[in-house]
Structure 1
Amino acid sequence: MVNPKKIAIVGAGIAGINTALELQRLYPDFELTIIADKFNSETLSDGAAGLFRPETYCFGPSFDISQEWINDAYNFYKNLLNTEPCGINEISGYTFSKKKEFTENHYLKKCLPTYRDATDEELLQHSTENSIKEYGSFCTSIVIECKRFLPWALKKITNNGGNVIERKIHSFDEICDDFDFIFNCAGLEAARLCDDKELVPIRGQILRVKAPWVDKFYYDDFDTYIIPSIEDGTVVLGGCRHFGSHDVAAQQRDTDTILENCIRLVPSLKEALKSEYKVWVGLRPYRSRVRIEAEKIKSAVVIHHYGHGGYGVTLGPGTAKYAVKLLLSYL
Structure 2
Amino acid sequence: MASVCVVGAGVVGLTTATLLQEALPDTASVTLIADKFKKDTTSDGAAGIFRPGLQFQGSSAQVTRQWLRDSYGYFHDISTSEEASTAGVKPISGFILSSKNPSITRNPLLEPLVPEYRMCTDQELQLFDYKYGCYFTTLMTECRRFLPYLTDQFSSRGGRVIERHLESLEQLAGHFDVVCNCTGYGARDLCADLSVTPIRGQVFKVRAPWIKNFMYEDYDTYIVPGFDYVTLGGTRQFDSHSLEIDKYDSMAIWDRCVRLVPSLKDAEVIQEWVGWRPYRPVVRVEKEVMAFDSGKTLKVVHNYGHGGYGVMASPGTSMHAVRLVQEMLDVPRAKL
Q: Which residue of 1 aligns with 2:88?
A: 87
Are residues 1:284 and 2:285 paired? no
Contact 2:56 2:309 (8 Å CA) reproduced = no
Q: CA deviation at 1:294?
A: 1.2
Partner secondary structure for residue 312 of structure 2: helix
User: For the residues of structure 1 that align with 2:219 and 2:51, how far apart are their CA atoms?
Assistant: 16
Q: CA deviation at 1:307?
A: 0.3
Runs of 4+ in structure 1 off by over 2 angstroms are: 297-300, 327-330
Are residues 1:11 and 2:13 paired? no
Which digits, 9 at most, give the CA deviation of each residue in 1:283-326, with x for residues without a partner? 11001010111111234311111000010001110110111111
Instruction: Name the amino acid aligned to 1:308.
Output: H
Partner secondary structure for residue 106 of structure 1: coil
Q: CA deviation at 1:276?
A: 3.7
Contact 1:226 1:237 (8 Å CA) reproduced = yes
Partner secondary structure for residue 275 of structure 2: strand
Q: Quickly say closer, same or farther: Cα 1:49–1:135, change in 2 above 3 A.
A: same
Aligned length: 319
User: For the residues of structure 2 that align with 1:212 and 1:186, how far apart are their CA atoms?
Assistant: 34
Q: Which residue of 2 aligns with 1:107?
A: 109
Instruction: Name the amino acid aligned to 1:78.
Output: H
Partner secondary structure for residue 308 of structure 2: coil
Are residues 1:68 and 2:66 paired? yes
Q: CA deviation at 1:328?
A: 3.5
Of 228, 232, 241, the residue aligned with 1:237 is 232
Of 148, 164, 173, the residue aligned with 1:167 is 164
User: For the residues of structure 2 that align with 1:292 and 1:52, how far apart are their CA atoms?
Assistant: 20
Of 139, 143, 151, the residue aligned with 1:142 is 139
User: For the residues of structure 1 that align with 2:113 and 2:60, how far apart are their CA atoms?
Assistant: 17
Contact 1:180 1:299 (8 Å CA) reproduced = no
Partner secondary structure for residue 108 of structure 1: coil
User: For the residues of structure 2 that align with 1:55 and 1:258, how far apart are their CA atoms?
Assistant: 20
Greater shift, 286-295 or 79-88, is seen at: 79-88
Q: Quickly say closer, same or farther: Cα 1:268–1:246, change in 2 above 3 A.
A: same
Q: Which residue of 2 aligns with 1:271?
A: 266
User: For the residues of structure 2 that align with 1:182 and 1:206, how far apart are their CA atoms?
Assistant: 33
Partner secondary structure for residue 107 of structure 1: coil
Instruction: Name the amino acid aligned to 1:247.
Output: S
User: For the residues of structure 1 that align with 2:269 and 2:223, how far apart are their CA atoms?
Assistant: 17
Partner secondary structure for residue 194 of structure 2: coil
Are residues 1:199 and 2:192 paired? no
Are residues 1:295 and 2:288 paired? yes
Q: CA deviation at 1:222?
A: 4.7
> RMSD over aligned Cα, in angstroms?
1.1
Q: Which residue of 2 aligns with 1:120?
A: 122
Partner secondary structure for residue 240 of structure 2: coil
Contact 1:94 1:219 (8 Å CA) reproduced = yes
Are residues 1:307 and 2:305 paired? yes
Q: CA deviation at 1:58?
A: 4.5
Q: CA deviation at 1:261?
A: 0.9
Q: Quickly say closer, same or farther: Cα 1:317–1:6, change in 2 above 3 A.
A: same
Partner secondary structure for residue 141 of structure 1: strand
Taking the TM superposition and a 5 Å limit, the aligned residue runs for 1:3-82 are 4-29=1-26, 30-81=28-79, 82=81
Instruction: Name the amino acid aligned to 1:89.
Output: K
Taking the TM superposition and a 5 Å limit, the aligned residue runs for 1:317-328 are 317-328=315-326
Contact 2:56 2:306 (8 Å CA) reproduced = no
TM-score by length of 2: 0.92
Structure 2: gaps spanning 5 or more residues:
291-295, 331-336
Structure 1: gaps spanning 5 or more residues:
128-132
User: For the residues of structure 1 that align with 2:128 and 2:72, how far apart are their CA atoms?
Assistant: 28
Q: Which residue of 2 aligns with 1:130?
A: none
Percent identity, aligned pairs only, is 43
Q: CA deviation at 1:110?
A: 1.0
User: For the residues of structure 1 that align with 2:218 and 2:250, how far apart are their CA atoms?
Assistant: 17
Partner secondary structure for residue 192 of structure 2: coil
Instruction: Name the amino acid aligned to 1:245.
Output: S
Q: CA deviation at 1:271?
A: 1.9
